[in-house]
Structure 1
Amino acid sequence: MSPMKGSRRRRLVLLAAAALAALAAADDWPQWRGPTRDGRWYETGLVEHFAAAALEPTWRVAVAPGYTSPTVAAGRVFLSDRPDADHERVLCVDAATGEARWEHRYECRYSGISSRAGPRAAITIHDGRAYALGAMGHLHCLAADTGAVFWSKDLSALYAIQMPVWGIAAAPVIEGPLLLLQIGGREGAGVVALDRLSGEERWKALPDRASYATPLIIDQAGQRVAVCWTAQRIVGLAVNSGRLLWETAFPEPARLVAVADPVLDQNRLFFSDYWEGSLMLRVDPKRPAVSRLWYRKGASDQQTDALHAMITTPILDGEALYGVDSHGELRGLRAADGERLWESLELLPKLRWGTMHFVRNRDRVWIFTEKGDLAITRLTPDGLTVLSRARLIEPTKAQHARGVVWSHPAFANRAVFCRNDRELLCASLAAP
């Protein structure tokens, strides 16, 4: 065999191994918004239509209140909650049975924040470690298999956090050796990067207060850039150093809420805010810079233009944008200028802060509504098509008085994992 053929064969073997590894990793949901942090789910062999009006759980277990979304890795499900007024807690259960594996409880009394049901940020799982960030800034690095504490930090005490109204909510982000956190600390600690193994500070940046949106990592001009939407502006930070590469702002950032994450598609970054409307930026691929493509804002939170998102992170997909407006209206927009293409109230009635969560799988979008329904849909520039719909979990009132489920579900192992303020459950989505 010639050296060239041998080299080619080795390359094919390596590519096949890499593909298998990626496929295996895709079975998990180890962090906020999934394996690639973009609301995409890559499994196949899924149900096409629900057989009944309600999904039958494979298992269900009792939990305390909280907003944290479940994460799934290596056969375990992770969740944070608030079992009593003096503690937050990290839970781990078996993904197949719901059987308790371990819990870690720590002292935490809420002060100066609203909506006190429990922790907000999803737990991030990486290389056998669980990174849990509480509503008041308590950060723990735990062994994912046992719950043993590698290290912990009270970030509010360390960085004098300027606490957001709804507490710390942006999920921890792993990027290479670093753990990135948007916390709104004083003295230039709006965003901090810690060594993910030791917890030691590697850099800090920005005097900004924190928003609730999780940083988005992008490739730009040959480097990794953390796009951080703070309470004041949008910035691009060099991941390796925290250096400010570029910044921009909503034209009228008087009342920014900034809950929905920024989304990226084809060198375009999209942001949408409950009060301030929609902003589309172009990412310069050759240098660290951005430019505004368009901005639209309505007269109020009820007379909106384009999209005024609250909790729901939108989808930016080629020529179209899909999102949930301020009062629960599901909308399709033209990505080129934000012009509305259609609007639907089929999945959710008109409600202030009406919330759905989108997860893309092939040509389908799985939509979970705050009323506890899971729908298999298609979203196109022509409109919404609901292919099937079923009740997954009952809404509860600790998160909001009207009864809601605002926590994002996790999709892994051909199943969905979902929580309200009383229980965590798993339901199979495998094709029969």
Structure 2
Amino acid sequence: MISSVAFAAEDWPRWRGLNADGGWNPKGIPADFARKEPARLWSQEIGAGFGGVTACEGRVYVMDRLKSPKEIERVLCFDAESGKKLWDHSWDVSYGGMDYGTGPRSSVSIIDGKAYALGATGVAACLDAASGKVIWEVDTVQTFGAKIPKWGFAASPVLDGERVLLHVGAREGSVLALDKNSGKEVWRGGPDPAGYCTPEIISHAGARQLIAWGPEHVQSLDPASGRVNWTFPYKITYGVSIAQPIYHDGILLVSGYWHGAKALRLGKSATLLWENQSDICGLMSAPLFRDGIVYMLDKTRGLQAFELKTGRILWSDDNTLSPKDSNPQMSLVWMQESANLAALLNADGELVYVSLKPEGHKELARWQIIGKTWAHPAFAGNRVYVRNDKELSSWRLW
């Protein structure tokens, strides 16, 4: 749940889009879309980072890190049509020995004319989305006792009513809720330290639950108070709780690199429905879901399809859609969900159109639009905005 605010179809205001589920579904897709080569509209030099791109009300947002003349993290805002930089806001950082210490990991969240950002070392900021003026800024490590995980804070801010939710592992609180207008603490809850997974709000049996996957538990919290509803143990090697869980039909699915997938049946608590510790192992890539089928990138087999209720694997692409790697990655979205059409940006920076069905997949087109990247693009209208460690660029798709 993002807000009662109405966003346009051309907006991608937070991590994984309007509903944080990888839904793009633009209007006016031409019948021959796969024949139309993307056209680059503009490109801007930026610093390094893994954080995704967001786009809202004609502006594009991204975070980066510069190491000279001094080490800083920045929030950058560009005009969506021209690529002109409208503003930037920075703060001093020291990554020290942070593993994969390239740059920020999270996406900027936009709502009610404000931009919310969380840096890799725990600085959280609320900025005026049009001007970049600071509304509030707080170091969650110094102020709330947040503890930086091995690979830095990676979860994007989640807006819920009057609160912004940060997965930072503050003392006695896996998730920290701040007043979105003042930055003051509202609540903190959950037993785990910080993981790398952006929390999400689901509705189960008529009640809203905040799902926060940490390095030791899958946690369900009351989003209004932070009270713990239930926890399910899932202790992960190196604490790599990354890929976003999905919830459908009373089932919550989590999947990790080292210990595989677990499907939890939700009631008053969570019980194990099935698990697969060797053949369904996600890492960073958030899955898609349609009609009972999950489409998810496995660490060794590439993109694969399996039944949510049973875990039965239907097919895998054998690493044809994204390069095989010890840390595989692709960003998946529904391009036209009703027709089972998806788009993905793979780790080589290729935009791939693909048909995803229970009986198999079919690649429709492939275009090189950027260099190697793990960062999630923003799909807005007939545009895609992509970044890597050197540039942010805009492409018209048809």
Q: Normalising by the residue count of structure 1, what TM-score does the alignment of the two structures yield?
A: 0.86
**CA–CA distance in structure 1, aligned partners of residues 9 and 252 of structure 2:** 25
- Going from structure 1 to structure 2, the CA distance change for 1:193 and 1:323 (only over 3 Å counts) comes to same
Bigger strand share: 2
Amino acid at match of 2:321: L
Contact 1:112 1:163 in 2 (8 A): no
Q: Which residue of 2 aligns with 1:279?
A: 262
Q: Deviations over 1:145-202 (max 9, x none)?
A: 000000100001112222211100000000111101110122x022110110111110
**CA–CA distance in structure 1, aligned partners of residues 205 and 229 of structure 2:** 11
- Going from structure 1 to structure 2, the CA distance change for 1:270 and 1:415 (only over 3 Å counts) comes to same
Amino acid at match of 2:310: D
Amino acid at match of 1:324: L
Q: Mind listing any 5+ residue stretches in structure 2 that lack a counterpart?
A: none
Q: Which residue of 2 aligns with 1:6?
A: none
Q: Which residue of 2 aligns with 1:72?
A: 55
**CA–CA distance in structure 2, aligned partners of residues 235 and 93 of structure 1:** 36
1:326 aligned onto 2:278: no
Higher Rg of the two aligned structures: 1
Over aligned residues, Cα RMSD in angstroms?
1.8
SS of residue paired to 2:39: coil
1:208 aligned onto 2:192: yes
Q: Mind listing any 5+ residue stretches in structure 1 that lack a counterpart?
A: 1-18, 299-304, 396-404
Q: Which residue of 1 aligns with 2:275?
A: 295
Amino acid at match of 1:325: D
Which of 374, 383, 389 is equivalent to 2:366?
A: 389
**CA–CA distance in structure 1, aligned partners of residues 382 and 253 of structure 2:** 30
Which of 350, 373, 380 is equivalent to 2:350?
A: 373
Q: Which residue of 1 aligns with 2:138?
A: 153
Amino acid at match of 1:347: L
1:262 aligned onto 2:245: yes
**CA–CA distance in structure 2, aligned partners of residues 407 and 370 of structure 1:** 9
**CA–CA distance in structure 2, aligned partners of residues 218 and 127 of structure 1:** 22
Runs of 4+ with >3 A deviation: 47-52, 252-256
Contact 2:34 2:364 in 1 (8 A): no
**CA–CA distance in structure 2, aligned partners of residues 64 and 137 of structure 1:** 19
**CA–CA distance in structure 2, aligned partners of residues 280 and 120 of structure 1:** 27
- 1:116 is displaced (CA, Å) by 1.1
**CA–CA distance in structure 2, aligned partners of residues 254 and 423 of structure 1:** 33
Q: Which residue of 1 aligns with 2:375?
A: 407
Amino acid at match of 1:160: G
- 1:49 is displaced (CA, Å) by 3.2
**CA–CA distance in structure 2, aligned partners of residues 117 and 327 of structure 1:** 25
**CA–CA distance in structure 2, aligned partners of residues 34 and 245 of structure 1:** 27
Aligned length: 388
**CA–CA distance in structure 2, aligned partners of residues 348 and 43 of structure 1:** 24
- 1:43 is displaced (CA, Å) by 1.6
Amino acid at match of 2:41: T
